[in-house]
Amino acid sequence: MEIIDVQNEIIEEFSLFEDWMQRYEYMIELGKSIDLIDSSHKIDSNLIKGCQSKLWLHAELNENKLIFKADSEAIITKGIAAVLLRVFSNQTPKSILEANIEFIDKIGLKEHLSPTRANGLLSMIKQIKYYALAFNKN
Amino acid sequence: MAFNVNKIREDFPILKRKVNGYPLVYFDNAATSQKPKQVINSIVNYYENYNSNIHRGVHSISQEATDAYEGARKKIQKHFNVKNSNEIILTSGTTHSINLVANGFTELLNNDDEILISELEHHSNIVPCQMMAEKNGVKIKVIPLTSNGELNYDSFLDLLSKKTKLVFVNHVSNALGTINPIKSIISKAHDYGAAVLIDGAQASSHIKTDLQELDVDFYTTSAHKLCGPTGIGMLFGKKEWLNKIPPYQGGGEMISEVTFEKTTYAELPHKFEAGTPNIVGAIGFGVALDYLNHIGFDDIESYESELLSYATTKLKEIPELKIYGEAKNKTSVISFNVGELHSYDIGTILDKFGIAVRTGQHCAQPVMDYFGISGTVRASFSFYNTKEEIDYFCKSLERAIAMLS
């Protein structure tokens, strides 16, 4: 699926939530249920900086698609990471570089985009883009 | 004047606002305090009526501004019972004040000397010492914590020696609320000829301190912690010390070269006040002290103590909730975690309910390391918080825990 289609799918799903509580309950469910990363990848070099809770991001290229895995100590951060991975993982580096992140605002999580928020979301997106840049060169 | 929290709350415009549709419950007072309209009005009044630079200008409003600025210094002097107002340096806050002192001692100390700091310190107390040690090789020794969040006083006594030249300790811990036994620490340190700097940032909004009685060498605080504006604080220093240490910043009439000839510098306090100061900040600082003294610190202390005890009891009813730092003497701060839940998650959901708490390491990583945790949720109360707010907080916390479990 193209990134834009995944984003639209997510926007539609989130539009069904009536209030912040339902949105966050969903994020928490995502965060709790998805075991996203192998413990061997939970190393310091995979840590995203600027986070109040530890957030690890691991990237691997597989047949020209970038596969991302992530994990965090905080459930909500994990939930947000899960949403991001649904959008950006298993996509080509080129399409990741060209993608925008407006969908985050559309699903009511814009507050997590502020650079002052201590959840590393912005840093994680930046890191995803850096990986895409690096793998795109090859 | 009888203490009436509802009447007091009317003085604070921000307490009327809503967050995410819920009334704001502000429990992040250790980070910064809210401001009463008396302080806010004094700032507006300054800019509307007599804003002027204060270097003894010939014109009238310059004189008015100067009088107000120096008047604020006198208010601070009186509040802390300091003998000479020129021992009160107006700074941009506690961090600036501590850096000023650490910088001052850089050339006075060397690698034969030792300084003691505590495991409870805020980074603003630790980092300047480390920076100083990089320059002059002074040895830093750390007074350890005990499991109830107090300083290990016996260890402190063991660490003190003829080599000790400086002791840096906070009056109250920002992470845990522990009130340290600073009077005895100061007295013992003096027995060894060491100077003591007490970081009073977290104390001054809760406790009225008599600096002469304390006999402390340096004491710092920030106005924004005690209902005053940001960007202004004070450093008290005994005259003998302030005359000994070199200035921190050059500018204005200051020279750029640092020597130890007294006559080269401006007199106290101006030696340490280069450039145009935060004039309106100082005025607001003074008004904040007036406001608090009008309510009375006895009433403030006893009410906050009630809030602390009420909240502690209620929180302890929540399963798997652990409070860090249960010293016998505490200010109204509660740092806690719930089971394995990360403090960030709890803080995020509480915010959705309009509740402001702080989460994380609170700029006190050594404290977090001591307890082996990545951070805590910190609720810090002030004299304008209420028991009803605490009830709402506990209910919301239970809902947050249910969502996250």
Q: How many CB pairs below 8 Å do chains A and B form together? A: 44
Angle at CA B281, nearest 5°, toward B210 and A115? 110
Q: Check B344 against A119: CB less than 8 A apart.
A: yes
Interface test with A, best of B345, B353, B357, B362 (most A CBs within 10 A): B345
Give me the CATH code for the B5-30+296-404 domain, please: 3.90.1150.10
Q: Check A52 against B344: CB less than 8 A apart.
A: yes
Q: Compute the nearest-CA separation of A30 from chain B (Å).
A: 11
Give me the CATH code for the A3-137 domain, please: 3.90.1010.10
> Considering CB atoms only, which of B20, B349, B360 is closest to A52?
B360
pLDDT number for residue B55: 72
CATH 3.90.1150.10 residue ranges in chain B? 5-30+296-404
B219 by DSSP, 3-state: which?
A: strand
In angstroms, the CA B196 to CA B187 distance is 9
Q: Known catalytic residues of B?
A: 363
Interface test with B, best of A75, A110, A114 (most B CBs within 10 A): A75
Confidence of residue A107 (pLDDT cuts 50, 70, 90): confident
Span A52-102, pLDDT tens digits = 788 899 999 999 999 998 888 899 888 888 899 999 999 999 999 999 888
Cβ contacts of B375 on chain A, cutoff 8 Å: 52-53
What torsion, rounded to 10 degrees, do the Cα atoms B234, B240, B241, B247 define? 80
pLDDT number for residue B258: 52
Q: Check B374 against A77: CB less than 8 A apart.
A: no
Span B371-405, pLDDT tens digits = 999 999 999 999 999 999 999 999 999 999 999 99
B49: DSSP letter: I
CATH 3.40.640.10 residue ranges in chain B? 41-293
Q: Check A76 against B344: CB less than 8 A apart.
A: yes
In angstroms, the CA A106 to CA A14 distance is 9
pLDDT number for residue B77: 98
Q: What single letter denotes the amino acid at residue A27?
A: M
Q: Is the pLDDT of residue B265 over 90?
A: no
Convert B133-169 to b/e letters by CB count within 10 Å (16 or more is b): beeeebeebebebeeebbbeeebbeebbeeebbbbbb
Confidence of residue A115 (pLDDT cuts 50, 70, 90): low
Calculate the CA B295 to chain-centre distance: 20
Q: Is the pLDDT of residue B79 over 60?
A: yes
Span B123-167, pLDDT tens digits = 888 889 999 999 999 999 999 999 999 999 999 999 999 999 999
Interface test with A, best of B344, B358, B368, B401 (most A CBs within 10 A): B344
Q: Is the pLDDT of residue B97 over 70?
A: yes
pLDDT number for residue B253: 44
Span A10-29, pLDDT tens digits = 999 999 998 889 999 998 99
pLDDT number for residue B256: 43
Q: Check A25 against B342: CB less than 8 A apart.
A: no
In angstroms, the CA B398 to CA B394 distance is 6
Nearest residue on chain B to A80, judged by CA atoms? B345
Span B198-220, pLDDT tens digits = 999 999 999 999 999 999 999 99
pLDDT number for residue B254: 46
**pLDDT over 90 percentage in chain B:** 87
Span B338-352, pLDDT tens digits = 999 999 999 999 999
Residues of B with CB under 8 A from a CB of A: 20, 341-345, 348-349, 352, 359-361, 374-375, 403-404
pLDDT number for residue B261: 61
Q: Is the pLDDT of residue B311 over 80?
A: yes
Catalytic one of A51, A81, A82, A87? A51
Span B6-49, pLDDT tens digits = 999 999 999 999 999 999 999 999 999 999 999 999 999 999 99
Tell me the CATH architecture of domain B41-293. 3-Layer(aba) Sandwich (3.40)
